């Protein structure tokens, strides 16, 4: 694979070469490769088939989790989230020590406590992680999904971007069955606060406890807004918003 540095930028296939564009620039590679029939049936490619199957499972698991997070994810994500999440799913799959090669699965991997810690530490918005934005102490009730900030001081306990006048907090309680491909998500009401020195107790309680079996995930969203003539607007297209996993069972 080569990278194009010239003035002319091509896309498509020409004379045995394929020109294509990614976020990292323009590239070119040779056409060709192993036939689909050989790839699917030749014993020499059994490891390749195993890798392809696990890649497919990982991609499906990442897509399922993104769907489960719904509107919270849309307010705090970066442009490379899908590819970063695919890498995360690959790492989580490595904790599956029961399934045979080619069938290792994220859902089985998350039975390991270390895998849960890895999932919990994943930043959905690499420009602004929850740990870098929120300096307040919070608690999570793993039974009800309630997230509580007992003595929240917005002005001192948030790293707010320039221009922000308000912060909006919201939590979610999600049950994701990665093996069955199912999820159930419930959100708390939003809490809107001015960025002021007033200290208050914030309680974010989801409307219901999610049903089903699988991995239980608790999330917290910190969203920054700016007030202009009485109306609130998202700041910098959400670049500084943070979404983090605060509990995982």
Q: pLDDT, tens digit, for every residue of 5-21? A: 555 555 556 555 666 67
| Residue 22 falls inside a structural domain | yes
**pTM (2 d.p.):** 0.84
User: Do both 65 and 8 map to the same domain?
Assistant: no
Domain coverage including residue 101 = 45-120
User: Do both 91 and 165 map to the same domain?
Assistant: no
| Residue 40 falls inside a structural domain | no
Count up the domains in the chain and report the number: 3
pLDDT at 227: 95
Token pair of 149, please? 């900030």
At which of 120, 145, 164 does a domain end? 120
At which of 64, 86, 120 does a domain end? 120
Report the mean per-residue pLDDT for the chain. 89
User: Do both 49 and 141 map to the same domain?
Assistant: no
User: Do both 14 and 61 map to the same domain?
Assistant: no
């Amino acid at each position: 694979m080569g990278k194009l540095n010239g003035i002319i930028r091509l896309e498509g296939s020409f004379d045995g070469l394929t020109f294509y564009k990614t976020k990292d620039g323009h590239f070119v590679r040779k056409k060709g490769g192993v036939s689909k029939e050989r790839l699917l049936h030749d014993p020499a490619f059994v490891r390749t088939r195993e890798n392809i199957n696990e890649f497919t499972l990982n991609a499906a698991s990442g897509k399922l989790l993104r769907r489960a997070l719904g509107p919270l994810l849309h307010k705090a994500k970066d442009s490379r989230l899908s590819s970063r999440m695919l890498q995360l799913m690959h790492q989580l799959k490595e904790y599956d020590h029961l399934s045979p090669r080619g069938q290792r699965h994220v859902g089985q991997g998350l039975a390991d406590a270390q895998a849960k810690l890895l999932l919990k530490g994943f930043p959905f918005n690499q420009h602004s992680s929850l740990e870098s934005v929120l300096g307040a102490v919070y608690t999570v009730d793993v039974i009800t999904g309630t997230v509580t900030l007992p003595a929240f001081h917005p002005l001192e306990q948030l790293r707010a971007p320039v221009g922000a006048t308000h912060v909006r907090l919201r939590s979610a309680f999600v049950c994701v069955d990665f093996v069955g491909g199912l999820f159930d998500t419930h959100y708390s009401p939003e809490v809107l606060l001015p960025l002021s020195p007033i200290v208050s107790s914030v309680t974010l309680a989801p409307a219901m406890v999610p049903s089903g079996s699988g991995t239980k995930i608790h999330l917290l969203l910190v969203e920054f807004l700016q007030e202009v003539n009485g109306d609130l607007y998202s700041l910098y297209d959400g670049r500084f918003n943070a979404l983090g996993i605060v509990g995982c069972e």
